[in-house]
A and B are shown apart, each in its own frame.
Chain A
Amino acid sequence: MKKKLFSAFTVLALAFGLSPAQPASAGVQEITIALWDEVQAPVIQQTIDKFNNLYKSKYKATIVRTPWGEFWNKLDASLPTTKGPDVTWMNVFLPKYVNGKTLEPLDPFIKKDGMKLSQYIPGRVAAFNYGGSQYALPKGMDAVFVAYNKAIFKKYNVTLPKTGWTWEDMVASATQLRAGMDAAKSTEFPIAMELDLQPSYANFLHQDGADFLSLDKKTTLAGSATGLGTIQKVVDLMDNKLMFPYTTLSETKGTDLFISGKAGLVFIGSWKAKVLEESSLGKAKDIGLIQMPKGKLNNASVAGGLGYAMSAKSSNKEGAWKLIKYLTSWGSMSNEASNNIEVPARADAQRAYASSFQNIDAKVILKALKTASPYPHNGLPATLKPLQDSVAVAFSGKSPVSTSVKKGAEDTQKLLDGANK
């Protein structure tokens, strides 16, 4: 009996006695930074290495990369605890994390260091200011533009898009390309599009004056006559075979169709600029960039961007602040710019961005940013879901735009009204 009890206690001790290994060197504080992008991570690691070298006896920063699909779930679970990252990428979902009291206001750190926020693009600073407090320092900015395949335009003898083109000009060019593709019995299509909100219909709605979500985040105009007309324009492109069918775009990303040479042009975000640069089409200098075609009112794209935020539960807030400052410094942002990964949120670092591209004209991206409008999102995906779902159903042809999107917009407006009470 005693032998059995002794064995049992040994087993229990083994089961519960295992503990994580202690940090390698005492005195050096660990700082973790959470992000998702596999293209940006190696470049940011270069900055992290310099930071670690600068503070080698005090701090050691490590990147924790989680793929986009799981990033927010993991952040939701870890940020309210002391096991979460000290620093994290942040975007339009900021209100959710601020309201959940999981982010640290940076104002005391900014004030203590006498930091001037005017060194950053004002719109990007404002994007991370919530309820009067600054919760993140801006990292970069992104815009939407059009990339076109010069070889396809040349093959079908269609004039290349020109600056100042309109939606009607685009449809005319696409119609000519369609005629040529039909005659050649080709599987190509004139236009491809990503189905995500930011590189697609959020832009068209804004350009026609029927914003997906108003600047004050209280209203959607997508269900108005103008908004329905905008969505119908996209459905017409698909119905007339000027754009890939929705079923194809659901399975294969518009960018992938474009860089594999199957599309004449694609609406695309600047976060894919490096992909265009390094593609075989790009290396063959067959990619042209142009700002979006003008809608009823303008050709402004919607612009988003990321920032670096600090966890309210970080056990090393001083180190986390130093890391955030270092990552948003001129040197760090210039390095990111010269490695093509993002347009910096600092005007003094943006020059390196355009000149770092050899195969595409990235100056188009900087021009698009000058007239861009903030990405329409309120950080509450449940309120916008009915409208997004209804647009997806309309694109699929399962329900007419006038029924589906009108109902989706009404349902979303009800949820917005409830959220803004």
Chain B
Amino acid sequence: MTVITGWSAVSAHGRGRAAFLAGLGSTPADPLVPDVPATPGQGGVRLDRASLLALAALEELVADVDTGDRAGLVLGTTSGSLHTEMEHMRSSLTEKRPHHLDPKTIPSGTMNCAAAQCAMRYGVTGPNTTLAGGTGAALHALGYAARLLVADRADTVLVGAVEESTPSRTAVEHAAHGVRPLGEGGAVVRLERAGGPRPVLAEVLATHGVLGPPETCATALLRRAGLDRSDVWAVLGPVEGFPDAVTRRLPEPGLGDTGAASGAFALATALGRGEPGEHVLVLAHDADGTTAGALLRLADSTGEAQ
């Protein structure tokens, strides 16, 4: 059994847990995360927005226990910093020579930059994984991170997802899936094996992914957790077959399409607003036909999140 013992988020509602919870359900005027610190990258790197958001998302959460060889980091993404990748290509096409791109941004053009920079800043030297999984990235990542714990490759894993909002992402997303409001941000949880000293916020009863509809994924999650539909207190995700009263108990983040961060925000919503002792089902479904999900049981007394 793996358990969540902490979480944090950065979103257009602001930086940190309190701002996220205060803003839930409302739509901020500005879809961007306010006041993202322009942290200098390690090793001279000029950081992309996704990496800055990841660093900011970890800021409030990371503690001594989350560093060293027995600590891991698993970060979900759609495709890293698309803006940086496209900037490199723009430079290649428009500068005097085709390799004249900005050297300091080169590391940011690779998907694992955010996770690697977080590891450097905070000293997380165990498994460091970047996982591309669309809007379900954080839920896939939660399952992957749980496996690292079961396999005894780490004692704690920080796991979540980030997404940046940039002109490049907007252009590509609008071309791909139509014009709609896009948002950004990230959320990260601390995952550990049960039985540790820190207060438990939630148990991760099951994670599951399918190439299929949300219904299939939901059914599998319930079966694996040995639960009935009536046991589920709230659902975050596009699935029918649960009474309306149940599906509407938790607010939407109100942040637009936040890509890979959306699954992470759903986890944060469940942790921050869920009823003690209740079950929350989180699902993310994408146009490529994939569904990822997680089933949580919130602790009887969640106490103060940290």
- The answer on A and B forming one complex is no
| B-binding residues in A (CB < 8 A) | none
